[in-house]
Amino acid sequence: MKKMKLAAIFAGLVSVFTFSSCLNDGDGGPNYDLYEIVTVEEGSIFGGAVLKGDAWGYTYTPVSSSVLAGLKTSDGSYYKRAQVGIKLMEGEVITEGKKSYKVSEVGVMTVLNYKDFNLQPDTLKNDYALVSLEDANNKIWAINGYVNVPFTFKTKEQLSMNDFHLYAVGAKEDTLVTRLRQTKGSDDAYQTGSALISFHMPFNRGEFFEILNNVQPKNDTIVVKVTAKGENDKELVSTVKCSFTNMQGY
C-alpha cells in the first residue's frame, strides 16, 4: 500500500530531553505503513492497551500484547507518548471514514516528554523568560488529553522537563488560558535549547476541573491559549483549537 507520511505539523519535532534507550537501533527495521505520534491508552474499551494517533485520529489495536513491548517501561507500565512506526495487520487498508485498525508491528522511534499540568502554581518560585513558543516548523497542538508545547529557552546549565510547568490560569468564554513557566535558569543565560513537552490535562482533579468547567465550548470546540514570559518583558502567546470531547477521552 502507499505509505502515508506524518502530518506536516509534526515534521522536525525536536526535544532536548530524550530517552535514548527508547530509540530504535536496528538495521532499518520493518517496512512500516505509517509513522505517527501516539498516546498509549490502557484499559480501553477495546480490551487492552491501544494507540491513539495524533495525525489522523486513528485508533491502532495490536493483534497481541507483545506488539507494544517496545513501549513498556522497566516497571511494566507503558510510556504514554511516543513517535512510532506502524505496520498494519495483513489485509488492513487505510480507508476513508474508517478510524480503527489492527496492527502487527510497532517500532518506537522516540519517547516524548510528558507530564501532568501543574496543580500548585502558587508554589513555583521563579519565572525565567523563554525565547519563543513554537517556531517555523513546530506548532502547538492539542489532542487525546494532551497539550503539546514546543518552545525555545535559554540556560547556562543542564535542565530537565521538571524545570518547566504548564498550569491553568482561568477560563474566558470558549478559551482555557494556561501559563508555561521555566523555574530553573539564569537571567544572563546565553545558550539556547529547544524542547517539546506533552502536558496532560488532569480531568480527575477538582482544582483543574473547577477552571475547565467554566469554559464554554462552541460546537464541541474549545481554544487552549498558552502564555509565557518572553524576553525584554514581551508576553508570548499561542493558541490552538481542539475537540472538547476528544480531550476528555470520549
Across 208-232, average pLDDT: 96
pLDDT, position 138: 80
In a domain, 185, yes or no: yes
Tens of pLDDT, residues 236-248 = 999 999 999 999 9
Look at residues 3, 113, 112, 106 and name the one whose alpha carbon lies nearest to residue 49: 106
Across 210-230, average pLDDT: 97
In a domain, 1, yes or no: no
Q: Is 28 exposed, middle or buried (0-12, 13-18, 19+ CB in 10 A)?
A: exposed
Q: Given a cut of 80, is residue 12 above it in pLDDT?
A: no
The answer on 41 and 163 residing in a single domain is no
Residues 6+ apart with CB under 8 A from 184: 126, 128, 155, 157, 159, 163
The answer on 173 and 61 residing in a single domain is no
The answer on 127 and 194 residing in a single domain is yes
Phi, psi of 56 (to 5 degrees): -120, 0
pLDDT, position 30: 65
The answer on 120 and 106 residing in a single domain is no
Last residue of one domain, picked from the residues 58, 88, 111: 111
pLDDT, position 31: 86
Tens of pLDDT, residues 176-193 = 999 999 999 988 888 998
In a domain, 3, yes or no: no
Report how far residue 61's alpha carbon sits from residue 51's, in angstroms, rounded to the nearest whole number.
7
Across 108-129, average pLDDT: 95
- Please tell me the pTM assigned to this model: 0.87
Last residue of one domain, picked from the residues 78, 111, 144: 111
Q: Given a cut of 60, is residue 2 above it in pLDDT?
A: no
pLDDT, position 243: 96
The answer on 123 and 67 residing in a single domain is no
- More confident position, 23 or 115: 115
The answer on 180 and 58 residing in a single domain is no
pLDDT, position 137: 74
- The x, y and z cell numbers of residue 56, run together, are 489522523
pLDDT, position 14: 39
Indicate the residue type of 153.
F
pLDDT, position 7: 37
Across 143-149, average pLDDT: 96
**End-to-end alpha carbon distance in the chain:** 31
Residue ranges making up the domain that contains 217: 114-247
pLDDT, position 17: 39
The answer on 135 and 67 residing in a single domain is no
The answer on 135 and 218 residing in a single domain is yes
Tens of pLDDT, residues 43-97 = 755 568 999 999 999 999 999 989 999 999 999 899 999 999 999 999 999 999 9
User: Does the CA dihedral 69-73-75-78 come out positive or negative?
Assistant: negative
The answer on 91 and 36 residing in a single domain is yes
What's the CATH code of the domain at 184?
2.60.40.3220
Q: Structurally, how many domains does the chain consist of?
A: 2
What's the CATH code of the domain at 15?
2.40.50
- How many C-beta atoms surround the C-beta of residue 14 within 10 A? 14
Last residue of one domain, picked from the residues 111, 144, 169: 111
The answer on 126 and 63 residing in a single domain is no
Residues 6+ apart with CB under 8 A from 213: none
Look at residues 141, 222, 214 and name the one whose alpha carbon lies nearest to residue 174: 222
Report the percentage of the chain scoring pLDDT > 90: 74
Q: How far apart, in Å, are the Cα atoms of 46 and each of 40, 60, 143, 210? A: 13, 10, 19, 30
The answer on 233 and 118 residing in a single domain is yes
In a domain, 2, yes or no: no
